[in-house]
Structure formats: C-alpha cells, structure tokens
Homo-oligomer: A and B are copies of this chain.
Amino acid sequence: MLFASDNCAGVAPEISQALARHADGMAHAYGKGDLDREMEARLAELFETEASVFFVGTGTAANSLAAAGVMKPGGMVFCHSEAHVQVSEAGAPEFLSGGGRLVPISGPLGKIDPQKLDRAAMQTPRDFNHLGQGVMATITQASEAGTVYSLEEIAAIGEISAKHGLALHMDGARFANALVKLDCTPAEMTWKRGVDMVSFGATKNGCWCAEALVVFNRDLSSHFQFLRKRAGHLFSKTRFISAQFEAYLEDGLWLDLARHSNSIGKELEATVRDSNRARLAWPSDSNQVFFITDQTHAEQMKSKGATFHAFPTPKGMEEDIGENEQVYRLVGAFSSTSDDVKQFADLLAG
C-alpha cells in the first residue's frame, strides 16, 4: 500500500486522542454543541474574516453543497476537466445541486486557463435562456495534478469570476499542502484573491472524516444549514468532527502534517528524477508526484507491493507518452516515511 493515495492512510495520533478525549459526557446534537460553535469560530478566525462554517464528512459533500448553495435553474459550474468534481464524484455535484451542469475547462498542469474560463463564461449572456447560466467557478488547490495555483493565478481567476458574476469556490481537499507550499495565510490564498467558498479538507491530511465548507458570506448561513440537513450530511454527534478540527488546528499540527507529506513528495520526485526506468510527467508542487514509466514495469512493481494508480494522459501530452507507457500517480501521506520512499525506489530500480 505504498503511495496509492492519502485516502489510504489512517489517522494521526493527535486526532485519535481528540476523538477519545471528547467521548464522554453529553453535548447538544446536530451541530449545536459548545465545541461545534467553538470550532466554527476557530475556523473563521483562521481565515481572519466573517465566515459561516459547515462541517461535513466528505469532500464530495462539501463541494456539492457549495454548488448547491449558489445554484440556479440551468446553472453551470466551470471546473477543470480533470477536477475531482468532474471525474471522481459520480455526479454528486450535479445531483445535490438539483441538476446543475459541470462545464469542463482545460488548462495545463491541472489548472484552469483563465482565458478559457473567460471565453466559456461569455457564452452565457444573462438573458439568453437556451444554453444555461453560469453560477460558479471552482478550482482545486492543490490541484489534482499535484500543482499549486500561485496567488496571482488565483487572483486572475477571481477577477474573471467576478466579472461574470460567478461565485468562486476552492476545493481544498489538499488545502494545507498548497498553503505550506505558498507559505502564505489562508486569507491570502482565498478571499483576498476573490474566493467566496472553500472546501477546507482535513481528511486526507490525517483526520478520519473532517471537512468544512467555509463560506465568506454570513448571509448564506441559514440556506446552507438547510442544504446540509436536506442532503443527509448533518451529523447528530457533530462534536466528533469538531474534535478532529480541534486537534488538527492546534499548535499547527495541520501545517506540520502537510509539510511532511510535501517533503515525501519531494523525495519521491527526486527518486523518479534519478531513475533510469521512469521520468517525471511534470514537476510537483505538493505531495502528489506524477511519473511516466513502462506499463510492464509498473505492473511488476505492483506485483511486488507498490500500490499506485494510473492517471489519464492529460490533453496535449499524448505525444510525450510512448506506446507502452503510462502516467502514474504517487501520493505522499502524513504517515509516509522515508523508508517507504526507499522501498519504492528499490522497486522502481527493478
């Protein structure tokens, strides 16, 4: 089980301890407990602004509720063509938003090309009810390709979104990995660059099921309360999501965990770079590393215990991939070790 996904990792000890620490006693259910309120406030504080915070258990729930919250009839959500919402959520954003449409926008390295977003958004003028109406753009930070949008890139997309009246959402399933890469504050990476909502993910980074939809608009609070409940995503014992966040945010645990998995990413990148059996598909900014190797070799590695997934060849890269070759993804987890990397390096060397 080496490097298949950060979803395959377990739970950091601090998170387990928090769950146990809050196991006793009674608390108000359905998000009305003291700890829930405290952690909602803690998250708003983290973002240095007024914000409504909605705890849920899956990233798909957070992303889909974001879309649902701003949906209109015939509504269109612009996302990258490789985005998780587009390729890995089985239609949840469309279904949970009551029939919205995802409009895939391409762009190199897993990032939306701002000009293509602009062109796509222009095709839905306000009073033309045939195609549909744009309601939201969503970017993934860090992206599904392991890259990270720079602050300027986010700002550019923020401006185009504002120009077209689109809410801007950030899928932060790997928010911490991007943040430590950019070495900036959560505010700088989000609302200060035009982001309206963030799926603040903690699950992949050492929690078991802790996701928060953070909405920088308190007016929408009541609306999202109902959206979450109606989708079955309001936990009765919410305090155990709050408990995870308590430990996650304490003493910078979340940043430490992300720094660690990013450093594993760096080690994996170096391993591939040094190998004569594989080459990097493109540079990594985070804990996800993409490499190209021979399919036969990959299968052999898997048969000896490596566990990693093939990745669809990105548009425009078709010619760079040999006939028997394939792009593969490696993901460093909070719990991955340098020993794991060495083991992988040995397998890669064959």
A75 close to B91 (CB less than 8 A)? yes
Closest to A24 in B: B10
- The answer, yes or no, to whether A237 is at the interface (CB within 8 Å) is yes
- Tell me, rounded to whole Å, the shortest Cβ–Cβ distance linking A261 to chain B: 13
- The residue that A96 contacts in the complex, of B94, B131, B132, B231, with Cβ under 8 A, is B231
B233 close to A58 (CB less than 8 A)? yes
A101 close to B102 (CB less than 8 A)? yes
B240 close to A208 (CB less than 8 A)? yes
Which residues of chain A in 21-68 are interfacial with respect to chain B, using CB atoms and an 8 Å cutoff?
Answer: 22-30, 56-61, 64, 68
Bin the interface of chain A by size. Answer: 35 or more
Contacts of A101 in B (CB 8 A): 91, 94, 101-102
- The answer, yes or no, to whether A317 is at the interface (CB within 8 Å) is no
Inter-chain CA distance A333–B29, complex, in Å, is: 13
Contacts of A76 in B (CB 8 A): 91
Q: Given contacts A8-B26, A209-B209, is CB(A99)–CB(B90) below 8 Å?
A: no
Closest to A224 in B: B73
- Tell me, rounded to whole Å, the shortest Cβ–Cβ distance linking A82 to chain B: 12
B13 close to A88 (CB less than 8 A)? no
A10 close to B237 (CB less than 8 A)? yes
Contacts of A132 in B (CB 8 A): 90-91, 226
- The answer, yes or no, to whether A295 is at the interface (CB within 8 Å) is no
Contacts of A227 in B (CB 8 A): 73
Inter-chain CA distance A335–B78, complex, in Å, is: 41
Interface string of A1-22 (1 = CB under 8 A from B): 1101101111111011001101
Closest to A32 in B: B8
- The residue that A236 contacts in the complex, of B2, B96, B131, B203, with Cβ under 8 A, is B203
Q: Given contacts A29-B8, A90-B130, is CB(A74)–CB(B237) below 8 Å?
A: no
- The answer, yes or no, to whether A342 is at the interface (CB within 8 Å) is no
Q: Given contacts A73-B95, A95-B99, A237-B203, is CB(A11)–CB(B23) below 8 Å?
A: yes
- The residue that A60 contacts in the complex, of B1, B89, B232, with Cβ under 8 A, is B232
A100 close to B91 (CB less than 8 A)? yes
Contacts of A20 in B (CB 8 A): 16, 19-20
Interface string of A176-192 (1 = CB under 8 A from B): 00000000000000000
| 10 additional contacts (CB under 8 A) given A74-B90, A95-B230 | A4-B29, A8-B29, A10-B25, A57-B209, A61-B232, A73-B95, A74-B226, A90-B130, A90-B226, A130-B229
Can you name 14 A-B residue pairings with CB atoms under 8 Å? A5-B29, A7-B30, A11-B23, A19-B20, A58-B235, A72-B226, A73-B223, A74-B229, A91-B132, A92-B229, A95-B99, A129-B226, A133-B226, A209-B240
